[in-house]
Amino acid sequence: MSSAPSPSLVLFARGVIARLALWETLTLAVQESWGGPGAKEKRTWMAGVVVDMFEEKQSKTNSASSSNVDSRVEPEDIEDTLLQIMADEFEVHVEDGSAETLGKDIVQLWDAIINSASPSSTTITHSEGEKKVQEWESRVESAKGRKIQAHYQEAVEEDGDWEDDDSEGDDEDGDHPMDEDEVPHLIDSNRGQRKPEVDEDGFTLVSSRRKR
């Protein structure tokens, strides 16, 4: 039977949950149900995945006899994990740099809450981490009920020109479909929920969501 998590780990988990709730990209995905009817549960599961990354790394370090064992989860590790989950579970590719910022914030929180217990730690304190968690939770509470506006833009052709209903085309060779492997910035790639629009030249207009 596993032992109960330490108060510090519980505090860290609270911080991760709050920080993810402040991530507008994820909030929009949950709001628009890009991850399906269980989108909110996926967000909670997502926080658990992040916390487990740190807990497992710490456990391996404590049980290892070598002092050369890498005991640190890097911001890039968090960023990559979040981006992968967003793509797999919400069918959204995030390219606005927000996951990078999120990764740095979470690693800094871990350092403040967990690593501050180390005698060698002199620049961060547990109380600073606790204040940060409380700040994030307060912001989450204040933001309840607010909806994030999704911005819709038409697809961009390969030459960079915008296509709309009033455009005049001289191409007589037919359609030029988009590469299905290329998902635009913050696009909801679950396109089956919306009926595609076709302009007078036969181009399919794909709506995408972009974060300003």
Residue-level pLDDT at 117: 52
| Partners of 120 in the β-ladder | none
Residue-level pLDDT at 72: 86
Residue-level pLDDT at 124: 53
Question: Looking at this protein, which amino acid is placed at residue 182?
Answer: E
Q: Is the overall model pTM greater than 0.75, yes or no?
A: no
Rounded CA separation 42/50 (Å): 12
Do the Cβ atoms of 8 and 114 come closer than 8 Å? yes
Residue-level pLDDT at 186: 57
Pairing status of strand 152-153 against strand 208-209: antiparallel
Rounded CA separation 162/153 (Å): 10
Mean pLDDT by 10 residues, the chain (212 residues): 80 97 94 90 96 89 59 93 96 93 96 68 68 96 86 45 46 47 46 49 47 41
Residue-level pLDDT at 69: 54
Residue-level pLDDT at 22: 96
Residue-level pLDDT at 59: 81
Residue-level pLDDT at 188: 43
Residue-level pLDDT at 157: 43
Rounded CA separation 113/12 (Å): 7
Residues 6+ apart with CB under 8 A from 45: none
